[in-house]
């Protein structure tokens, strides 16, 4: 086996800290800073010190190996990007304040890439001309930039962070499904090898034009997502994505408008009550189908919905701008609300056709604040469902089987998405098909939070003494502690050299003038899987081996200890 390097604590550019950093709220933030893995450079911007960089590189290596194994090709695209492609897809504006926008000296607009769908689409447009060039999966491992509103929790939510992003390009829907399945398997292998406990959770309602999306969520207190797990069936979903389908079978059977009290200030509770959904629910979207096709959902700004289609269908119904004043003048309409789950300033207007039959308003889509007025529910359109009920309570019914759901906090470590043709339409990516005619390419995009995975690992693999790294990601295999004076240091360095010669990655605490007690505390904080102590019995050639995870310890002669570890 190749010689591995010996890292000497006496030379390591990282100090351990006794106290938690003052601004640290979550465990991984406290431990990674205290153990000398990362340092804060600015809000949400982090520097990786030697041990941290080793763990990050290990995560990166595992991700790279598993991506290569599904035939994905690694590339590296710029992070500094021109505005135009993002204009073409609308994301220059839609991305909102999370996008880092900047100008060059000539006043040209640029951005720092938050995710790269546009740029990869253009790359494939430039390189691929025929169906024979596809399918292809491209990926990169690169810094991403998002001006997060609340960069908290250390590297869990950075404003600069490392992501593996990949993109699949196929000519047919079946091909996309296959590329998606390959990613799903690769991600399972990645997270298993990393030693992360995770669940695959549904991430969208599936009602948005057939696109499919799943998140890989790592259960942890520090997580900012909540997922629901059914103890009875295989249902698992981010609560953001849970959908209850309420299908009024017969619009005529709905209660008359005058039988339903119109609250002065409609709240989510009154809406929930009028719709008969769990009181803990947050209603978000009204889904409207015309001739079996979804034409509107109650998400302002959602580009899946074509308001022109709605207008054409309902003509001569009026489609016009709705203002605050309109709402003030129409007490019969149920007003929208701002959801509690990070919907930000996206005010949702929700019209319940039972409140005012004959005057249902349909929330606008690709035209801001545009709603179809004077359209009759049940006559002009089918009220297919109220979707997106955010479950906020333990025990709400599972949408599949009705069993009470369990809720847990989790960290989103990966996300896979069947995008379809949203980007290839906007950027007109075609290849020549088998029949010689152009085919619009269909696309998937897939992300792994590489730097976030390090924090997720720290959350899941720690105890009251510090970090406890799984072997494949640990910054070293063995942490050798010289617990004493010259004799112990000499033995520690000798053992380290022999282990390294056998290919074992060693971190040796050879610091002079540091007490054995401090070295033991630091070794437990740093979290390398095996601790080897050259202490009291060094003169007899006996060392102690300690398993960081179980705490089990054993004294044995040096040769045996080395044999055990190699
Ligand atoms: P979140 O919901 O946490 O904001 P996201 O859904 O916006 O994440 P995606 O666009 O799906 O993130 O990006 C792919 C992956 O990149 C995520 O699954 C996550 O692991 C990681 N990621 C996203 N934002 C950050 C961030 N600010 N810091 C670190 N990792 C991140
Ligand atoms: Mg985000
Ligand atoms: Mg998310
Ligand atoms: Mg996501």
Residue 281: its pLDDT value, please? Answer: 39
- Ligand closest in space to the Cα of 449: 1
* Whole-number Å distance between alpha carbons of 548 and 541: 22
Phi, psi of 143 (to 5 degrees): -70, 135
**Which two structure tokens, joined as six digits, stand for 121?**
């689409």
Ligand 1 centre distance from Cα of residue 308 (Å) = 33
Which CA distances in Å does 419 have to 109, 122, 211, 487? 27, 16, 6, 63
Q: Whose CA is nearest to atom 2 of ligand 1?
A: 412
Ligand 4 centre distance from Cα of residue 415 (Å) = 5
What is the H or E stretch that residue 501 is in?
helix 486-501
Q: Is 535 in the pocket of ligand 1 (CB under 6 A)?
A: no
Residue 244: its pLDDT value, please? Answer: 52
Handedness of CA 251, 298, 347, 449 (dihedral sign): positive
Residue 316: its pLDDT value, please? Answer: 46
CB 77 within 8 A of CB 142: yes
Ligand 4 centre distance from Cα of residue 412 (Å) = 7
Q: Whose CA is nearest to atom 11 of ligand 1?
A: 415
Ligand 4 centre distance from Cα of residue 214 (Å) = 9
- Whole-angstrom Cα Rg for the chain: 28
Ligand 2 centre distance from Cα of residue 391 (Å) = 20
Ligand 2 centre distance from Cα of residue 148 (Å) = 7
Q: Whose CA is nearest to atom 14 of ligand 1?
A: 447
* Whole-number Å distance between alpha carbons of 67 and 185: 10
Q: Is 163 in the pocket of ligand 1 (CB under 6 A)?
A: yes
Q: Is 161 in the pocket of ligand 1 (CB under 6 A)?
A: yes
CB atoms within 10 A of CB 519: 22
Ligand 4 centre distance from Cα of residue 215 (Å) = 7
pTM for this predicted structure: 0.79
Count of residues making up the chain: 566
Q: Is 546 in the pocket of ligand 1 (CB under 6 A)?
A: no
List CB contacts of 387: < 8 A, sequence separation 6 or more: 205, 207, 243, 244, 245, 284, 285, 286, 287, 297
10-residue stretch averages of pLDDT, the chain, 566 residues long: 85 92 91 97 96 98 98 98 96 90 97 97 97 98 94 92 98 96 98 97 54 92 91 88 48 42 43 47 43 43 44 48 50 34 26 31 40 47 40 71 90 95 95 96 97 98 97 97 96 97 97 96 98 96 97 97 96
- Ligand closest in space to the Cα of 414: 1
Ligand 2 centre distance from Cα of residue 114 (Å) = 9
Residue 242: its pLDDT value, please? Answer: 67
CB 190 within 8 A of CB 453: no
Q: Whose CA is nearest to atom 31 of ligand 1?
A: 449
Q: Is 144 in the pocket of ligand 1 (CB under 6 A)?
A: no
* Whole-number Å distance between alpha carbons of 282 and 299: 14
Residue 354: its pLDDT value, please? Answer: 31
Ligand 1 atom closest to residue 159's alpha carbon, by position in its atom list? 27
Residue 309: its pLDDT value, please? Answer: 56
Q: Is 148 in the pocket of ligand 1 (CB under 6 A)?
A: yes
């Amino acid at each position: 086996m190749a010689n591995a390097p010996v890292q000497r604590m006496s030379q390591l550019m990282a100090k351990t800290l006794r106290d938690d950093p003052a601004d640290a709220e979550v465990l991984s933030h406290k431990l990674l800073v205290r153990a000398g893995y990362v340092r804060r450079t600015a809000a949400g911007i982090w520097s990786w010190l030697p041990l941290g960089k080793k763990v990050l590189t290990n995560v990166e290596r595992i991700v790279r190996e598993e991506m290569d194994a599904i035939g994905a090709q690694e590339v590296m695209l710029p992070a500094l990007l021109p505005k135009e492609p993002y204009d073409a897809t609308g994301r220059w504006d839609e991305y909102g304040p999370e996008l880092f926008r900047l100008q060059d000296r000539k006043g040209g607009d640029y951005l720092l890439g938050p995710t790269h769908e546009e740029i990869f689409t253009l790359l494939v447009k430039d390189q691929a001309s025929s169906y024979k060039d596809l399918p292809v999966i491209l990926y990169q491992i690169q810094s991403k930039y998002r001006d997060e509103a609340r960069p908290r929790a250390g590297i869990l939510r950075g404003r600069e962070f490392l992501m593996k992003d990949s993109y699949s390009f196929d000519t047919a829907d079946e091909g996309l499904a296959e590329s998606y399945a390959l990613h799903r398997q690769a991600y399972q292998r990645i997270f298993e090898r990393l030693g992360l406990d995770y669940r695959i959770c549904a991430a969208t309602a599936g009602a948005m034009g057939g696109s499919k999306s799943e998140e890989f969520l790592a259960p942890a207190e520090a997580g900012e997502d909540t997922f629901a797990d059914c103890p009875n069936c295989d249902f698992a979903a981010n609560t953001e994505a849970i959908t209850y389908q309420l299908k009024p079978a017969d619009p005529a059977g709905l209660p008359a408008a005058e039988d339903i009290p119109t609250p002065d200030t409609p709240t989510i509770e009154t809406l929930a009550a009028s719709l008969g959904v769990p009181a803990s629910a947050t209603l978000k979207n009204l889904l409207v189908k015309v001739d079996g096709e979804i034409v509107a959902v109650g998400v302002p700004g959602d580009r899946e919905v074509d308001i022109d289609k709605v207008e054409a269908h309902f003509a001569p119904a009026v489609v016009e701008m709705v203002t605050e004043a309109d709402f003030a003048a129409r007490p019969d309409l149920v007003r929208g609300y701002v959801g509690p789950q990070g919907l930000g300033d996206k005010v949702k207007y929700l019209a319940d056709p039972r409140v005012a039959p004959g005057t249902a308003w349909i929330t606008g889509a690709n035209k801001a604040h545009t709603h179809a007025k004077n359209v009759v529910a049940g006559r002009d359109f089918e009220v297919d469902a109220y979707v997106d009920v955010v479950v906020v309570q333990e025990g709400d019914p599972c949408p599949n089987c009705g069993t009470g759901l369990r809720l847990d906090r989790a960290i989103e470590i990966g996300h896979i998405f069947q995008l379809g043709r949203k980007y290839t339409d906007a950027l007109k990516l075609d290849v020549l098909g088998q029949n010689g005619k152009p085919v619009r390419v269909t696309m998937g995009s897939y992300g792994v939070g590489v730097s976030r995975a390090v924090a997720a690992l720290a959350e899941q693999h720690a105890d009251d003494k510090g970090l406890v790294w799984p072997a494949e990601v640990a910054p070293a295999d063995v942490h050798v502690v010289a617990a004493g004076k010259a004799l112990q240091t000499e033995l520690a360095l000798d053992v380290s050299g022999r282990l390294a010669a056998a290919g074992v990655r060693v971190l040796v605490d050879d610091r002079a003038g540091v007490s054995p007690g401090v070295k033991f505390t630091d070794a437990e904080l740093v979290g390398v899987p095996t601790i080897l102590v050259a202490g009291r019995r060094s003169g007899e050639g006996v060392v102690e081996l300690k398993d960081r995870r179980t705490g089990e310890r054993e004294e044995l002669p040096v040769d045996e200890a080395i044999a055990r570890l190699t």
